[in-house]
Structure 1
Amino acid sequence: MTIPPLDVARILYEPAAAAHPRGQQILDRFPGAERVEVASHWNIPDLHGDSDKVDEWVRTKRGVLVIGVKKSLSVRPNGRSGDFIAPSHSNGCAMACVYCYVSRRKGYANPITTFVNIEGVAATIERHATKLGPKTEPNQVDERAWVYDIGENGDCSVDALICDNVRDLTALFRRLPNAKGSFATKHVNRDLLDYDPAGRMRIRFSLMPAELARTLDVRTSPIAERIAAIDDFVRAGWEVHLNFSPVVVYDGWTSDYTDLFRQVDAALSDRAKEQLAAEVIFLTHNEALHEVNLRWHPKAEDLLWTPRWQEAKVSENGAANVRYRARIKGKLIAVFRDLLAREMPYCRIRYAF
């Protein structure tokens, strides 16, 4: 069974967020939580950038919630997980995946920040989609609809435990004739089965070999539970894709991924297989996060930090990352593609890198 990802004991709130109806909904949902006023959801020294908080990593993610007002509402082009990245309705996560890039961007434990001005987020998406008009040329993201990733900086399945932001966005896409929403998740939230997305929301279940996930995907739903949920979500009107991310290379990885593909294949109905697609993202790690992880979860770094296969990579935001060496990464991607084609030939890969 999944461990409940939230046990909110402390809420840090901007005054404007607490006064907003969505903020009131959140405060009412957690009446026993301590309430602490903060000037800014972003600049909280008690949470962000304090490496000494590493010893409280999991406790912070489980028990702390921040509510704020999203100041910048903009849509960014993407082309991979979606055509566009929607304005964030949240940032951070209650789960503790050790490779998480969001932790690299915003402090250390980085619990969930929920933005209460969901009406502004929705209006921004609607204006953008309306201006675009129909999608006339299919691409790898989708053949007919403009797809907006609504979960770039968090996990919407967990966000839905906090308030109705995800439900509201589902209702938005249900009525937009030319657009879909999309998000990746590692948490099975069966409340989402009642959202009636009518095919206008794409949920991407993140998968990796179960033994690997037990080490790396801390506080997430077990892999078997994620696989078992796929058919249920398809029947409930969700479009379901797979998110093989990150693909981690280690001795025996091809055998473990073969087993994973066979488990998925055995669990899927014909209807689920017909609509299935996948994205494949090989591991990118980060030197600073590596040093932090060594202090709270060193076993994970035996898998993530493998210099014999990795090389330095400076990211677009200037971070010092590491990735699999370019001269072998192409071969690794080809091996993954061949394995998936052999075991699940109906599952097209939308993109892989």
Structure 2
Amino acid sequence: MALQPRQLGPLMTPRRAAPVPLAERLFDIRTIYHEPGIESFDRAREVLDRHPDAERVVVPSHTAIPGLYGNEGNVVDWVRTKREVLVLGEKKSLAARPNGRSSDWIAPSTANGCAMSCSYCYVPRRKGFANPVTVFANIDRITGYLERHAGRQGPKTVPNQCDPTHWVYDIGENSDCSADALLSDNVSDLVGLFARLPNAKASFATKLVNRQLLDLDPRGGTRVRFSLMPEAMSRVVDVRTSKVAERITAIDDFVEAGYEVHLNLSPVIVHEGWLEEWAHLLDQLADGTSSRTRAQLAAEIIFLTHNEALHEVNLGWHPRGEELLWRPDLQEPKRSQSGQDNVRYRSRWKGRWVAQLEELVAERLPGCRIRYAF
């Protein structure tokens, strides 16, 4: 007797698992270190209320956490610490530092550290063997300082490469604001501030697509710089970030939502075949963005700078990435402005590589202005 084909009923239809919300994918906060009296700040109470089951540990300062920073044994838990630990503190020193590259000014931080684990990141170079997010709770004092500072600048009468008409404040030098926005409303407050300042705009680089930011109303007052590198390289060194293709897909949506969107082509990591990989990425950008987006597009190009101390930390949790980042055959020592001993690509080669990538951008993404490259 011939077998009859089986009928697939509704119960046999395979179900797709619901996507995990972004905040749950990045965070499972189990321990919150906080400074004494942090509950006096509304923002701190809001953050604590979001994690009612987390253990709370009082520490002398957000920079002095016994057993966390400087503890070499923590390196094996590098990623888990980012997922499970949060720090709450007060930003006591407020100053806008002159910059001139990504921005005119570096704003006082409203957070420090990052949920993501890009193995080339400069922020943990100062911390040692752990780099969880610190949220600064005195947001009202920080936004008040920024409003007064911008007011003292007056109109921007001389255009520069940062912006022709507005003073630009980098609000994410020590963190990724897309991730910060999952932990507190600090980023929302900053976007709201710069939406109403007539002479200033905020700016931050990001490797995370947080679509909750599309619900804000930036009114052109915030510049999002999507950090991009070729996908194959990103899969190795951009740990816990959004995929490069997802970042490209999001660019048009952020422009439509009222953000200015630029590109942060960095870090450029030189290896065999690197230029061909960048050509493919630039083609993806040209094909994956609208004419409206490309008309307002600009880019900054930053070649990799690395650090021996961070190299040693990374060997403890992600040695594969160091095979690409630590290249003594291509690198030379560099003393940073902050006094750190770093390494960069050898100057006699780097200048040629920078020019090659600039030419490639002009060819593959015509009209995209390069604000600076180094």
Aligned twin of 1:132: 153
Alpha-carbon RMSD across the aligned residues, in angstroms, is 1.1
Aligned equivalent of 1:46, options 64, 67, 78: 67
Aligned twin of 1:33: 54
Aligned twin of 1:294: 315
Aligned twin of 2:10: none
Distance 1:248 1:315 in 2: 19
Residue 283 in 1 paired to residue 293 in 2?
A: no
Aligned twin of 1:163: 184
Aligned twin of 1:107: 128
Distance 2:106 2:38 in 1: 23
- Report Cα offsets for 1:257-280 as digits up to 9, x if no partner: 011001111110011001000111
Q: How far is 1:45 from its partner?
A: 2.5
AA in 1 matched with 2:64: N
Kept in 2: contact 1:208–1:257 (CA 8 A): yes
Distance 2:352 2:68 in 1: 41
Higher mean C-alpha deviation, range 200-209 or range 18-27:
18-27
Distance 2:277 2:286 in 1: 14
AA in 1 matched with 2:342: N
SS in 1 for 2:25: coil
Q: Which runs of 5+ in 2 are unaligned?
A: 1-18
Q: Which runs of 5+ in 1 are unaligned?
A: none
- Report Cα offsets for 1:53-107 as digits up to 9, x if no partner: 1000000011100000111011100001100000110110111100110010222
Aligned twin of 1:318: 339
Residue 198 in 1 paired to residue 214 in 2?
A: no
Residue 341 in 1 paired to residue 362 in 2?
A: yes
SS in 1 for 2:164: coil
Residue 229 in 1 paired to residue 283 in 2?
A: no
Residue 274 in 1 paired to residue 298 in 2?
A: no
- Report Cα offsets for 1:112-162 as digits up to 9, x if no partner: 000000111111111111011000011000010000000000000000001
Residue 175 in 1 paired to residue 196 in 2?
A: yes
AA in 2 matched with 1:71: K
Q: How far is 1:6 from its partner?
A: 1.5
AA in 2 matched with 1:25: E
Q: How far is 1:166 from its partner?
A: 0.4
SS in 1 for 2:118: coil
Aligned twin of 2:40: 19
Kept in 2: contact 1:5–1:220 (CA 8 A): no
Kept in 2: contact 1:18–1:67 (CA 8 A): no
Q: How far is 1:52 from its partner?
A: 1.6
Paired residues, number: 353
AA in 1 matched with 2:338: N
Distance 2:358 2:215 in 1: 34
Aligned twin of 1:253: 274
Kept in 2: contact 1:89–1:165 (CA 8 A): yes
- Report Cα offsets for 1:16-69 as digits up to 9, x if no partner: 322311001001111121111111101113221122210000000111000001
Aligned twin of 2:91: 70
Aligned twin of 1:86: 107
Distance 1:290 1:54 in 2: 12
Aligned equivalent of 2:231, options 201, 210, 226: 210
Higher mean C-alpha deviation, range 34-43 or range 195-204:
34-43
AA in 2 matched with 1:119: D
Q: How far is 1:189 from its partner?
A: 0.4
Kept in 2: contact 1:207–1:244 (CA 8 A): yes
SS in 2 for 1:45: coil
AA in 1 matched with 2:313: V
